[in-house]
Amino acid sequence: MGSTPVGFGICRPCEGPTRPGFALCYCCTTLIGRLQMPLAPVTAVTPYRVGDGMHRLLRGYKDAPMAEVRSICTSQLAGILRRWLSEHVDRLLARTGGPWDLVVGVPSSQRPVAPVDALVDAVPLLARHHVSLLVRGPEPTDHLVASRRGFEVTSNGGAGCGERGRRALVVDDSFTTGARAQSAVAALRIAGIRVAGVLVVGRVVAPDAAWWQAAYWDSVIEERRAARTVEWAGGGHPVAGLPR
Ligand SMILES: [Zn+2]
């Protein structure tokens, strides 16, 4: 019997797990091929597995039938983001190469108003630079489907009105392959806006998908144990009425 492989590498653009010795994960390699441009550095607040409390919270914030439940979930996510930023803003600044003067949410693929905009507005450090610059473009974006034309900068608040040359932090709620976030990055760059990086609240990890993903997940659990943090890194009480 061969020995069980252990360890994992960290993908340079997305900081997700990759096969040891590889600088890029499969998703980032695919996205670079599709977008034909370098990817922006991604920082994720909380890794989670499908079905975890964080996953239910993210689903509740987007899809709970009752507005009140969506609002409670948004408040909890904003609290997680505020606490994380209060402790880790220096790490984020190092990762993004310095401060940003625009904060741009990734538009929703289904809803006219993206829930991430409400989330950003509830976090003062982000809200003060928040601008709605992006709308959906003529080409689709989906898991692993990235496009330079997946989003467009709006003409009324866009690069023609003083944003050109400024540095943007792109914010999204959840991160699976990065296709939507990196398509948003591409659209901003095409409009002349420099992108400092991408901040996401939750990153999906699939420990069953590959041994290095399992090893990465074990390290997440170990870190939480050492830091005595709960599942979604910062506390919060279960929200009644969340989808299961
Ligand atoms: Zn990656």
| C-alpha 25 – ligand 1 centre gap (Å) | 4
| C-alpha 12 – ligand 1 centre gap (Å) | 6
| C-alpha 141 – ligand 1 centre gap (Å) | 17
Res. 6: pLDDT tops 80: no
Q: In this predicted structure, what is the pLDDT of residue 144?
A: 85
Kindly report the average pLDDT of the chain as a whole number: 88
| C-alpha 65 – ligand 1 centre gap (Å) | 33
Q: In this predicted structure, what is the pLDDT of residue 242?
A: 55
Please enumerate, as own/partner, the contacts of 150-157 that have beta carbons within 8 Å and a separation of 24 or more: 150/179, 150/180, 150/183, 150/184, 150/186, 150/187, 151/106, 151/107, 151/183, 151/184, 151/186, 151/187, 152/187, 153/187, 153/188, 153/190, 153/191, 153/193, 157/131, 157/132, 157/133
Ordered domains of the chain (ranges, CATH): 12-227 (3.40.50)
Res. 209: pLDDT tops 60: yes
| C-alpha 77 – ligand 1 centre gap (Å) | 24
| C-alpha 26 – ligand 1 centre gap (Å) | 7
Cβ 35 vs Cβ 146: under 8 Å:
yes
Indicate the pLDDT class of residue 5, thresholds 50, 70 and 90: low
SS (H, E, C) 37-102: CCCCCEEEEEEECCCCHHHHHHHHHHHCCCHHHHHHHHHHHHHHHHHHHHHHHHHHHHHHCCCCCE
| C-alpha 21 – ligand 1 centre gap (Å) | 13
H or E stretch covering 167? strand 167-175
| C-alpha 72 – ligand 1 centre gap (Å) | 31
Convert the pLDDT of each residue in 54-86 to its tens digit. 999 999 999 999 999 999 999 999 999 999 999
**DSSP letter, residue 109:** S
Q: In this predicted structure, what is the pLDDT of residue 160?
A: 47
pTM of the model: 0.90
Indicate the SS3 state at residue 200.
Answer: strand
| C-alpha 239 – ligand 1 centre gap (Å) | 31
The two tokens of residue 96 are 């993004």
| C-alpha 238 – ligand 1 centre gap (Å) | 31
| C-alpha 205 – ligand 1 centre gap (Å) | 12
| C-alpha 29 – ligand 1 centre gap (Å) | 7
Cβ 142 vs Cβ 156: under 8 Å:
no
Convert the pLDDT of each residue in 160-170 to its tens digit. 456 667 899 99
**DSSP letter, residue 207:** T
Res. 225: pLDDT tops 70: yes
Q: In this predicted structure, what is the pLDDT of residue 237?
A: 46
- Range with lowest mean pLDDT among 27-41, 149-163, 210-224: 149-163
| C-alpha 189 – ligand 1 centre gap (Å) | 20
- From CA 52, how far away is CA 129, in angstroms rounded? 31
**Greater confidence, 113 or 66?**
66
**Greater confidence, 1 or 196?**
196
| C-alpha 241 – ligand 1 centre gap (Å) | 34
Q: In this predicted structure, what is the pLDDT of residue 159?
A: 46
